[in-house]
Homo-oligomer: A and B are copies of this chain.
Amino acid sequence: MPELRKDPVLGRWVIISTERARRPSDFATARQPEPSDPGRCPFCPGNEHQTPPEIARRERDGNWTIRVVPNKFPALVPGAPERRGEGIYDRMNGVGAHEVIIESPDHAAELADLETDRIADLMGVFRERATDLARDPNIRYVLVFKNHGRSAGASLAHSHCQLIATPVVPVLVRNEIEGAGRYFEFRGRCIYCDIVKQELEEQTRVIAENERFVSFEPFAPRFPFETWIVAREHRCGWDALDQEHQADLAELLRDALGRINRALARPDYNFLVHVAPTSGPGNERHHFHLELMPKLTQIAGFEVGSGFYINPVPPEDAARFLREA
């Protein structure tokens, strides 16, 4: 079973993943790329038996269009959390969930190539899985994310998203809730609502908008062309995203991916969705947003050592370039 361990100084949890264990000597040789031959792809139609049993699906005309399956090499697995100390150190067994969302039956289709209503279906699947997993009292957070391309961490070519449900709130989300809480105490308003307001007034960093969402380059982006898609009105969790919201989010996600692909020669990318935790105080201060990061630069020693990021492209320049793409 995987194990969670806590850094005693920072309180940062890491997952020591025995299910994806590699012997130390495996690192002495370069990794072989996975086969991308559709005939052997476990995410392709006809090979459904190669995945663990299906958790959810969407269908059109009797064929599946989206499948959700457990990750075959899960970072976390179902169970009851048990915590124990060892001198100054803390461990917890690695309970949670790790699921794969296969975005379409087409081996060659990238997310950016799908029709908007298919992407809206995908948002509905995210909502269904996140709200289902939130019913487990051992689960404190559900993080939906995507790794596109090998340099962004994808190990299979057939386009897919993932979710990892964790028994503790991830430190970055906790920091967002604390930051938003301090702002609310001081000003009595949601900081994300104020960010949306200022971005829409200034327009210098905005990429696109529709009725329920706005996409823009954030004021202090870690990475070149980092793009956020934020709910225009205050929404905390997946449960607050009705079908109209799912459609509007899908439209801006497809728009952003299309612009990035046209402007930057189809780079690898990550995206992730930040929502409020499944329970706990102060969560109403959080605000639904998606963060999209093309993989264009390397994280180096300064970033790893400081938590600072060096970004060679001002977000106003990036926004202008993407608006024109």
Please report A residues at the B interface, Cβ cutoff 8 Å: 3, 5-18, 20-25, 27-29, 75, 87-89, 143, 145-147, 150-154, 162, 164, 166, 170-173, 175-176, 179-180, 183, 191-192, 194-195, 198, 202, 218-222, 224-225, 263-265, 267, 270-274, 291, 293-294, 296, 298-302, 304-315, 317-318, 320-321
Tell me what chain A mostly uses at the interface: helix, strand, loop, or mixed. Answer: mixed
The copy count of this chain in the complex is: 2
24 contacts between A and B (CB under 8 A): A5-B219, A7-B219, A9-B176, A9-B180, A14-B311, A25-B321, A27-B263, A27-B294, A75-B302, A88-B194, A145-B302, A147-B301, A151-B298, A152-B298, A153-B298, A153-B301, A162-B301, A164-B302, A170-B306, A171-B308, A173-B306, A272-B301, A272-B302, A272-B306
Taking A10-B175, A27-B225, A171-B307 as known contacts, 18 extra A-B pairs with beta carbons closer than 8 A to each other, sorted by chain A number, are: A5-B219, A7-B220, A8-B195, A8-B219, A9-B175, A9-B191, A10-B179, A14-B221, A15-B309, A15-B311, A25-B321, A27-B294, A28-B263, A164-B306, A166-B308, A270-B300, A270-B305, A272-B302
CA distance A63 to B18 in the complex (A): 52
In the complex, the chain B residue whose C-beta lies closest to that of A3 is: B314
In the complex, the chain B residue whose C-beta lies closest to that of A88 is: B194
In the complex, the chain B residue whose C-beta lies closest to that of A316 is: B16
CB–CB B306/A143 < 8 A: yes
CA distance A304 to B15 in the complex (A): 14
CB–CB B5/A152 < 8 A: no
Known: A9-B191, A89-B219. A300 touches B14 (CB 8 A): no
CB–CB B27/A296 < 8 A: yes
CB–CB B170/A307 < 8 A: yes
CB–CB B24/A313 < 8 A: yes
CB–CB B300/A152 < 8 A: yes
Q: Which residues of B contact A294 (CB under 8 A)?
A: 27
CA distance A299 to B13 in the complex (A): 15
CB–CB B10/A272 < 8 A: no
Known: A17-B312, A166-B308, A321-B24. A218 touches B7 (CB 8 A): yes
How far does the Cβ of A85 sit from chain B's closest Cβ, in whole Å?
12
Q: Which residues of B contact A143 (CB under 8 A)?
A: 302, 305-306
CA distance A145 to B301 in the complex (A): 6
Known: A298-B152, A310-B14, A318-B24. A220 touches B304 (CB 8 A): no
CB–CB A12/B301 < 8 A: no
CB–CB A192/B224 < 8 A: no
Q: Which residues of B contact A154 (CB under 8 A)?
A: 300
Q: Which residues of B contact A194 (CB under 8 A)?
A: 88
CA distance A263 to B221 in the complex (A): 37
How far does the Cβ of A38 sit from chain B's closest Cβ, in whole Å?
24
CB–CB B310/A17 < 8 A: yes
In the complex, the chain B residue whose C-beta lies closest to that of A76 is: B310
CA distance A17 to B311 in the complex (A): 6
A305 in complex: contacting residue of B3, B8, B274, B313, CB < 8 Å = B274
CB–CB B170/A14 < 8 A: no
Closest 10 CB pairs of A and B: A153-B300, A272-B305, A170-B306, A145-B301, A270-B301, A24-B321, A172-B307, A171-B307, A5-B220, A9-B179
